[in-house]
Amino acid sequence: MSGTLVLVRHGQSDWNLKNLFTGWKDPDLTALGIEEANAGGKALAEYGIKFDVAYTSVLVRAQHTLKLILDNVGQPDLPTIRDQALNERDYGDLSGLNKDDARAKWGEEQVHIWRRSYDVPPPGGESLRDTGARVWPYYLTEILPRVLNGEKVLVAAHGNSLRSLVMVLDKLTKEGVLALNLATGVPMVYKLKADSTVASKEVLGDMSGAH
């Protein structure tokens, strides 16, 4: 059996709370976001896993989430690699805008297409497919080899960068990934086979009961 890959979406950020398009902007966690990250860390501590390496984006909300998780699992000094390949989807001209204001400017239907289509990017930004196009090569060259080498790898990142990974791991269609919403601060524990496919998946502390 190969190693273990744990994916965690960062806790609520200040801009999530304010209903703003965030993308590559860099707000920190809210008080609730800190609670969510701590809860994810406690769930991993109870699960009993110890990590060999962690990966995160260059954005503070993901790094703060990772720090809180590592504090909770008793590994505050774990080697950590930060790379913008794991950043959130870049919302381009929408970044920093209130979602209701964006709808007023461009129309409900157009904003919905940008948010929920697979391959239509907002002006100056990335589609979900574009996000995957930078996440997947990084995963294949940097993260996956370590998991296949038997290591336990933690990735704290963002809704869309992680959706890109889950799409591959769970073999989701374009339609399937568009319907996927990842809970904040909830660890997804993947055990991989030697051929890099998924042997098992557990969602820790998921209140929805969905696996």
For the chain, the domains span: 4-203
Residues serving a catalytic function are: 10, 88
pLDDT in tens, 67-89: 999 999 999 999 999 999 999 99
DSSP at 48: T
User: Which pLDDT tens digit goes with each residue over 94-146?
Assistant: 999 999 999 999 999 999 999 889 999 999 999 999 999 999 999 999 999 99
Q: Which pLDDT score is estimated for 209?
A: 38
Given a cut of 50, whether residue 208 has pLDDT beyond it is no
| CATH of range 4-203; options 3.40.50.1240, 3.60.20.10, 3.30.1180.10, 3.90.1170.50 | 3.40.50.1240
- Write the CA distances from 187 to 95, 110, 178, integer angstroms: 27, 33, 20
pTM: 0.94
In the DSSP assignment, the letter for residue 184 is: B
CA distance 76 to 66: 9
Query: What pLDDT score was predicted for residue 2?
Result: 77
Beta carbons of 185 and 8 less than 8 angstroms apart: yes
